[in-house]
Structures are given as structure tokens and as C-alpha cells.
Amino acid sequence: METLFTIFSGIFLSAACGFRVFVPLLVMSIASKAGQVQLPPDFEWIGTNQTLLLFSVATVIEVIACTIPVVDNLLKILATPVAIIAGIIITAAFVTDISPQMNPQFRWTLGFIVGGVAAGSTQAVSIWGRFLTGMMPIVPALIEHIAACIASLLPFLLPLLF
């Protein structure tokens, strides 16, 4: 059960990268600092003070930039590959949590397939949703902020509930 929960946690966080790239990374960094996530040695950099500060600043910039129409459109284009990379990293970190001795090639393959697809799919839905609705960026941006926060916090809040 714990293995399945770990996999779904990685998927949720990776998918959240499609809404906001840095929110899930920030939540993961905070969770690491709080002792909620035990990061494997090659991912311990996520839980450092410098990375926490970097993700905090990047999150604030990303959230503010999403409310400016021209900047938001440009950011959506630039964020797609970055979201996919973040999704890959997050999933690879969580898959490692299943078995630290796991073959690195298998871990990164799962990261690419599961995390990259989750983040890329969420990003694609977000872009198409904005295109099809034609709404001002502030409304979808607010929805995406909320979705990113919920999807990022859910893997850490569910164990507390149960």
C-alpha cells in the first residue's frame, strides 16, 4: 500500500507541475525540510535552504506573471518543457523512495514516462482550456493556482487524514 501511495504522490506532484511549475517543487522542498519526505541522496538538494529560497522566489514570480496577459502567454510556452523536466525529476525522486537500490536507468525511465507525461498532459489541458474558453488569463490562472496547490498538498495531507 505504501509503494502505491508513493507512486501516486509522485504522479500528483508531477501533474501539478503542468499547472504551476514551481509550486510542487516548493511544496516538496518544504516537506523535505519538515521531515515529511525522505529524499534519496541524489535528490537531497531539493531540501536545502538555498533551493527552498530559489523555489519560493520562482513561485512568487510565476504566480504574479500569470496575471499579466502577454507575460502569461509567453510563460505558458516557456513553461511546457520546464514543467515536463520538473515532473520527471519529482517522479524519479519518489520512485527512488520505493527502493533506494533501484536501478537508476529504471528510475529515470519511469520518471520520463510517468512524470513527464503527467506534467505534459496537465500543461496541454491547461493551454487548450485557455485557448478554447478565450477567457482573460486571470480566471484560468486563479483556477490553475488552486489546482496546483491542491494537487501539491494532497499527497502530504492524505496520510495525516488517515
Q: What average pLDDT score do residues 19-38 get?
A: 92
Asked whether residue 160 is assigned to any structural domain, the reply reads: no
Is the pLDDT assigned to residue 16 strictly greater than 90? yes
Place of cell 502577454: 70
Is the pLDDT assigned to residue 134 strictly greater than 80? no
Asked whether residue 72 is assigned to any structural domain, the reply reads: yes
Q: What pLDDT score was predicted for residue 108?
A: 86
CA distance 47 to 80: 24
Three-state SS for the chain is CHHHHHHHHHHHHHHHHCCCCHHHHHHHHHHHHCCCCCCCHHHHHHHCHHHHHHHHHHHHHHHHHCCCHHHHHHHHHHHHHHHHHHHHHHHHHHHHHHCCCCCHHHHHHHHHHHHHHHHHHHHHHHHHHHHHHCCCCHHHHHHHHHHHHHHHHHHHHHHHHC
Q: What pLDDT score was predicted for residue 153?
A: 92
Q: What pLDDT score was predicted for residue 96?
A: 67
Asked whether residue 159 is assigned to any structural domain, the reply reads: no
Summarize pLDDT for 55-108 with one digit per residue, the tens: 999 999 998 888 887 787 788 788 899 999 999 999 988 876 565 566 778 888
Count of domains for the chain: 1
Q: What pLDDT score was predicted for residue 1?
A: 54
Contact indicator for 111, 42 with CB cutoff of 8 Å: no
pTM for the predicted model, two decimal places: 0.87
CA distance 147 to 141: 10
| Domain span holding position 136 | 2-153
Of the listed ranges 41-45, 55-59, 136-140, the one predicted with least confidence: 136-140
Asked whether residue 162 is assigned to any structural domain, the reply reads: no
Asked whether residue 130 is assigned to any structural domain, the reply reads: yes
Q: Which residue has the higher pLDDT, 51 or 96?
A: 51
Asked whether residue 25 is assigned to any structural domain, the reply reads: yes
